[in-house]
Amino acid sequence: MHVMRSGCTQRAAPPHVGCQTCPYADYSDGMTDLPRFGVRLARFIDQRAASGLNADSVPELREVIGGSAPNAATLVRLAPALGLHVQDLLVLAGIAVPEELAPLDPRAGSSAIYVAHLANCLPAESQHQLRDLVHSLPQEERTRPATPPKDCDPGPGALLLALLGNRNLGNHLTAKSLFAGTQGSMYLSESTVWNWLVHSRKLTPAVFAGFAAVLGIQVAELAALTGFGLPPRPVPEGPMSAVVAELIWDMRRLTVEQVRHVREAAGTMPGGD
């Protein structure tokens, strides 16, 4: 996959995980057991402490952190207070996302990630224009069943896969998602990236940060939510802008034809194809 555009300096680097030049290339978080949801949620709130979020502010939140098993209705109420998408909170709690909240058209994911590649090279004003275009498109009816996430051992990688699935980027689009999240600095095979996500001990902080950028969640907050153990040294955020991550989320409810329309519009903008 090559995404080369005039005026854009992003270029794909060859596979390089395991080499001595990659930050934390040989790092393994050593996770064997996924902490329960309440523990991970408490860690997330600790990361958000500066924003004034705390467990005492919402009684139901305190109950979940204390060990109560949440249901979907509880998480729907908690999501706004946590600043998370309901669908993501459901996935993190191990609750299936209902079809009415799932991505609309499984075929649209490939075009959506290509739109993200294009948007990465556009100025912020054009990125916002693409979001406005997406919001202007009508909501179509579902014609295909939602794609269920693939089964794999529970852990940080499995949760990343499910969160990508909420953005219509799961299963066979993980490598392209990582490429977009790192703005071309990680150009790897799908089988390699899939293996890392299924066997999450192979995840490095740099790879994790790339997926965090695509998901639009800060690295430390996502690590808390997924149980990924970060090293003591700070891990830089991925280079994808928050606006592009929001654009990816916006496109999850579009049909493949609608996303292709957005792709064509992105290609006509200055800096696009």
Within 13 Å of residue 164, how many CA atoms lie on the same side as its CB? 33
Domain that holds residue 132: 1-30+102-273
**Nearest to 83, CA basis, from 185, 195, 217:** 217
Question: Do 250 and 185 fall within a single domain?
Answer: yes
> Which single residue is written with the structure tokens 């990630």?
113
Tell me how far CA of residue 30 lies from CA of 4, 17, 51, 69, in angstroms.
Answer: 37, 17, 30, 26
Question: Do 53 and 167 fall within a single domain?
Answer: no
- Cα-based torsion angle of the residue sequence 43, 48, 50, 53 in order, rounded to the nearest 10 degrees: -100
Helices and strands in the chain: count of H runs, count of E runs: 13, 0
How do the residues of the chain divide into helix, strand and coil, expressed in percent and rounded to 5?
A: 55, 0, 45
The per-residue pLDDT for 88 is 97
- From 2-11, 194-203, 251-260, the region with the lowest mean pLDDT: 2-11
Question: Do 138 and 202 fall within a single domain?
Answer: yes
Comparing 209 with 199, the larger pLDDT belongs to 209
Question: Do 139 and 245 fall within a single domain?
Answer: yes
Question: How many CB atoms sit inside 10 A of residue 202's CB?
Answer: 18
Domain end marker among 99, 131, 155: 99
Residue range 113-142: mean pLDDT, rounded: 95
Domain end marker among 69, 99, 129: 99
Question: Do 191 and 88 fall within a single domain?
Answer: no
Comparing 233 with 163, the larger pLDDT belongs to 163
Question: Do 6 and 133 fall within a single domain?
Answer: yes
Question: Do 83 and 130 fall within a single domain?
Answer: no
Question: Do 145 and 261 fall within a single domain?
Answer: yes
The per-residue pLDDT for 3 is 37
Question: Given a cut of 90, is residue 139 above it in pLDDT?
Answer: yes
Question: How many CB atoms sit inside 10 A of residue 140's CB?
Answer: 13
End-to-end CA distance of the chain: 15
Question: Do 72 and 119 fall within a single domain?
Answer: no
Q: What is the pLDDT of residues 155-165, one digit of tens each?
A: 899 899 999 99
Question: Given a cut of 80, is residue 136 above it in pLDDT?
Answer: yes
The two tokens of residue 75 are 């998480």
Domain end marker among 78, 99, 120: 99
Question: Do 94 and 164 fall within a single domain?
Answer: no
Q: What is the pLDDT of residues 53-92, one digit of tens each?
A: 777 777 888 889 988 889 999 999 999 989 999 999 999 9
The per-residue pLDDT for 198 is 82
Question: Given a cut of 90, is residue 200 above it in pLDDT?
Answer: no
Confidence label for 14 from pLDDT (cuts 50, 70 and 90)? very low
DSSP secondary structure letter of residue 185: S
Confidence label for 8 from pLDDT (cuts 50, 70 and 90)? low
Q: For the chain, where are the E strands, in sequence order?
A: none
Question: Do 138 and 151 fall within a single domain?
Answer: yes
Residue type, 126: S
Question: Do 111 and 203 fall within a single domain?
Answer: yes
Cβ neighbours of residue 50 under 8 Å, at least 6 residues apart?
none
Cβ neighbours of residue 155 under 8 Å, at least 6 residues apart?
31, 34, 200, 201, 227
Distance CA 228, CA 267 (A): 37
Q: Which helix (H) or strand (E) holds 89?
A: helix 86-92
Q: How many domains does the chain have?
A: 2
